[in-house]
Structure 1
Amino acid sequence: MNGYSERQEPDAAALEALAGWLVSAGLTGLTEMALLEGFSQRLCAAGVAVSRSVAIIDTLHPIFEGRAFRWRDDGVEEEGLIEYGPTTDGELAEKWRRSMFQDMLNRSLSELRCPLIGPDLPDYSHMEDMQATGSTDCLAFIHHFAPDGVMGGMDCVYSYCLTRQTDGFSAGEQAALRRLMPLLALSLKTLSLARIAGTLTQVYLGRDAGQRVLSGRISRGVADRINAVLWFSDLRGYTRISDSAAPDAIIPLLNDYADVTVSAIHNAGGDVLKLIGDGTLAIFKADDPADACRAALDAWADLRVRLRELKQRRTAAGQPVTDIYLGLHIGDVFYGNIGGQDRLDFTVVGPAVNEVARIVSMCRSVDRSLVTSDAFAASSPPEARARLVSVGRYALRGVGRAQELFTLDPTLI
């Protein structure tokens, strides 16, 4: 005989415990993938025969539009987390247009039951993938956020569960999913918001500064005195390029050069604090100043390789190219919150910051791409110091003392 009435219904006590676990998981800060795995496994243990579960949520990220999380019960290995790009054009746009969730949005549905076997099945883009797991039934949900809970494109949670049972989900299983999926969506939103906050603070403030802000260092005037290598770089001839290039070519130029600069700094362990037009302010910290100096020089060597590749690519595309000037200095700075009550900046301040800005401006005068202070040269490890040569003694504008400046020996580069 067929029919849902023949099945043993889900365990009510286990479902109640699962509801409590979902609330706890959202509060204790699991990863989104661990949340879905724990939820799905507990569903099965409670008597809801789920063979696969998927949850999707948009995000705020400079590259990705959203993230999808997948769990399955058959032990087949697949990537559980998928980060996807814009769904506004290309193949992703076409898949989304034909998806079950777009159909639900078009029909203003928050729930949809979709059989996976039988005649006249809908032509959803993921139908074959769902059927390939041997599943027979699908129950999909969209849980929308209130308008004041929307963040960028993150305005809802999409989710669905599959089963391989011959008659699909029973009435009791459907009721259990209707009750628990909103709790899953709420916990997923909570975890995603925490991750988004971390991403945004690091993207806009820098990795170290972002972590400090999230740890609670947000009071105006709270700053640490640190010793660090200061990196200040800018583009050679940027004013001339911006005056002569087409307006729509300037932003791609800045993005391309900022991308290689930031990547080189991060790969060497530095932290970018500011992008100021065509300029980049960064710091390198280490217990031993020599290690911080070595890291800054490693970043410069990496950047020169990246610049060669970037210039080749842009030249081949008929786009304007230039080089980067870099000033390096080491000294004590105050690192923390500076600003007004309603607008703070987490950055470094102090005479050393002004000094490194003056040093980079000397690159043009001495016709060198890299210029360092005498303090940086003195703090550098012996192998690096041996490669630095003097370019003369200079009185820098706004700096109280004249000092000898250095560059890398061009014969040793």
Structure 2
Amino acid sequence: MAVADGGRDVAEWLVAEGRLLTDPVALVDAFCRRLIAAGVPLQRVRIGQSITHPLLSAWGVVWTAAKGGEEYVIDRKVLATSTFVGSPFEAVIRSRRPLRRRLDGLGPDDHGVFHELAAAGGTDYVAVPIVYGNDTVQVASFVTDRPGGFGDDEAALLERLRHPLAAALEPTAMRRSAASLLRTYLGVGPADRVAEGAIRRGDVVAVEAAILFVDMRGFTALSERLTSAAVLAVLDRYFETVAQAIVDRDGDVLKFLGDGVLAIFPVEQAGSAQAACDAAVGAVRAIRDGLATGPDPVAFAAALHLGPVLYGNIGSPDRLDFTVLGPAVNLTSRLEGLAKQFDRPTVCSDPFRQAWAGTTEPLGAHPIRGLAEPQPVFAIEA
């Protein structure tokens, strides 16, 4: 079969069956194997996708004839390094035009990626722009190790396939960007629920959860002592440390309230009430360790409670908020005030104490606004 005939089959597959695949690794693997069956000698293929994310700049799939496809992500900081600056990917994104480079006879001015590919046996390189409907430019690169490189007809085919490839990849890329944005602004658990269809006002569920409220101490004094830029740097470090500690233990960060953070650890997801409480205390300990270092150590107060919460969408018809609410949430926020009052870094309620297996210190029963009876409060040496 001529390469051109095989290329038409690949193009038809991309815009029909290929675009229905939701797994980008499976899509790229099937695409590459069809190209090989059409007579294109592939050694390595890399397809990069930009992503809307505060920390990551791109994700993609690297495929090799030996290993198949593997997904990768690129940190946003890489964009300022020589890994990207001056690279063939940057050249294609800027010019929006294909790029071809024979990999034999490279010179010192050629980008390092060409030298790496040549050292791995590559003989020819073709990169093509993949333009999506929102006018963003992605890149697909193709490498062969055949002596003499790609034939001109093969290189031309790879360039022609960029539009069908865009049609197949764009649905997957848009789903990935949408999921990334949802997780960034809502948290993992809420984002997954919204993606599954929980988008109507009043679409809430009752869940049992360990509830964590963390609040920074000494922010006013800090803001008076430091410059605005330094204060923002401390806040960034504080929120990143708190959020990462929670997410690492399968908790959901639901709210940033001034310099406070509200999170939950659902019991069903954790497997038991004790496991949810263990995860919450583990997060507090990780926050403590993370904030205790550096030129400006940050103090905080934390409150823990175990109870039922309503979890879902509330708000107006055109502006919804995915959050938790209920008496258990109110109790947790008021416990945090007692932590500051007693100058204890971490306090918990009696339901939390009973479910958790660790050691606590009784601080007595105290009136809590909104509750008829004084509530027992306990200190945790987290």
- TMscore range, shorter length: 0.7 to 0.9
Aligned-pair Cα RMSD in Å? 2.9
Contact 1:136-1:168 at 8 Å conserved across structures: yes
Count of matched residue positions in the alignment of Structure 1 and Structure 2: 381
Q: Which residue in the other structure is 1:337 paired with? A: 313
In structure 1, which of residues 9, 13, 31 is the aligned counterpart of residue 2 of structure 2?
A: 9
Which amino acid in 1 is paired with 2:102? Answer: P
Aligned-residue offset at 1:76 = 7.2
TM-score with structure 2 setting the length: 0.88
What corresponds to 2:21 in structure 1? 28
Distance apart, 1:259 and its partner CA = 2.5
AA matched with 1:388: T
For 1:130, the equivalent position in structure 2 comes to: 117
Q: CA deviation at 1:59?
A: 1.4
Q: Once structures 1 and 2 are overlaid, which stretch shifts more, 288-297 or 161-170?
A: 288-297
Deviations 1:47-96 (A, max 9, x none): 122232222222122222113432233x279976352433443xx2x343
**CA–CA separation in structure 2 for the residues paired with 1:49 and 1:229:** 56
Specify every segment of 5 or more residues in structure 2 that has no aligned partner in the other structure, as ranges: none
- Aligned residues of 2:205 and 2:312 also touching (Cα < 8 A): yes
Aligned in 2, Cα 1:185/1:232: closer, same or farther, shift over 3 Å?
Answer: same
Q: Bigger shift: 330-339 or 157-166? A: 157-166
Aligned to 2:322: 346
Does residue 1:371 correspond to 2:347, yes or no?
Answer: yes
In structure 2, relative to structure 1, the CA distance for the partners of 1:309 and 1:135 (3 Å cut) is: closer
Deviation at 1:122, TM superposition (A): 7.0
> Percent of aligned positions with the same letter in both sequences?
31
2:56 is paired with a residue of what secondary structure?
A: coil
Deviation at 1:109, TM superposition (A): 5.1
More strand by share: 2
Q: Which residue of 2 aligns with 1:396?
A: 368
Larger Rg: 1
Q: CA deviation at 1:174?
A: 3.1
Equivalent pair of 2:270/2:276 in contact (CA under 8 Å): no
SS in 2 for 1:131: helix
Correspondent of 1:406 among 370, 378, 381: 378
Q: TM-score, normalised by structure 1?
A: 0.82
Pairwise CA distance, 1:372: 1.7
1:323 aligns with 2:299: yes
**How many Å apart are 1:209 and its aligned residue?**
0.8
Separation (CA, whole Å) in 1 of partners of 2:210 and 2:256 = 17
Name the residue aligned to 1:231. 212
Structure 1 contact 274–281 (Cα < 8 Å) conserved: yes
Structure 1 position 247, deviation (Å): 1.4
Gaps of 5+ in 1: 1-7
Instruction: Please show how residues 36-47 of structure 1 align to structure 2 within 5 Å.
Output: 36-47=28-39
Partner of residue 236, structure 2: 255
Are 1:52 and 1:162, in contact at CA under 8 Å, matched by a contact in 2?
Answer: yes
CA contact (8 A) 2:265 2:279 kept: no
Contact 2:92 2:127 in 1 (8 A): no
CA deviation profile, 1:256-281 (whole Å, cap 9, x unmatched): 22233223323333221112121111
For the 8 Å contact 1:67–1:84, the answer to whether it is kept is no
Show CA shifts across 1:307-338 (max 9, x none): 235323x1xx3x2x232211122222221101
